[in-house]
Amino acid sequence: MPAAGLSSRMGDWKLMLPYQQYTILDASIENALSFCRRVILVVGYRGAELIEKYRFDPRVKVVVNGDYQEGMFGSIQQGVKHVESEYFFITHGDMPCVPPHIFRDVWFNRGGCTVFPGTSVRPGHPVLIPSRLKNMVVNADIHSSMKRIIFRYPVKYLGLNCDEIYLDVDTPQAYDELCAASH
């Protein structure tokens, strides 16, 4: 399907819009799973559909955020409750172009602090967070800010030269550009 005219589909559920042989969300998950053993997918809006879609994939743990309308931080809290590793990545489901090597590069630069792939001006995603922040995130007020928690402690910016760490599909124009670039 050509990219032209697809911007009208942004009224559809953007995570389920087609992208290459996947959906936007599928591509984002596959990129993470190219380096990570497991993805914790926090769902709220149309959560039952995503539970059904990923129920047979043991690499994807679907967690429901019943308060998703309260904002993104509540979803992060729900996901972090299920973290079992020493470090964990946070990224968005509408970032289908993050190359797998970015996860690896960020991981190998962890050194005990939160690591951003970009710069202090444009941090980018995925963000790698040490599990010592887990309890602070889980126990914070639902209206808190992840940035406020992260920046209480040292952070590292890798300054990676990769536009995809900033590319989230939030507008019809961004979706059209994504589709045009993938052809």
pLDDT in tens, 51-63: 999 999 999 999 9
- pLDDT band at residue 6, thresholds of 50, 70 and 90? very low
pLDDT in tens, 19-76: 988 899 999 999 999 999 999 999 998 999 999 999 999 999 999 999 999 989 999 9
Q: What is the mean pLDDT of residues 165-172?
A: 91
Tell me what percent of the residues of the chain surpass a pLDDT of 90. 77
Whether the bond between 126 and the residue before it is cis, its omega within 30 degrees of 0, is yes
Whether this prediction's pTM lies above 0.85 is answered by yes
Structural domains of the chain in order of their starting residue, each with its CATH number = 6-181 (3.90.550.10)
SS3 category, 34: coil
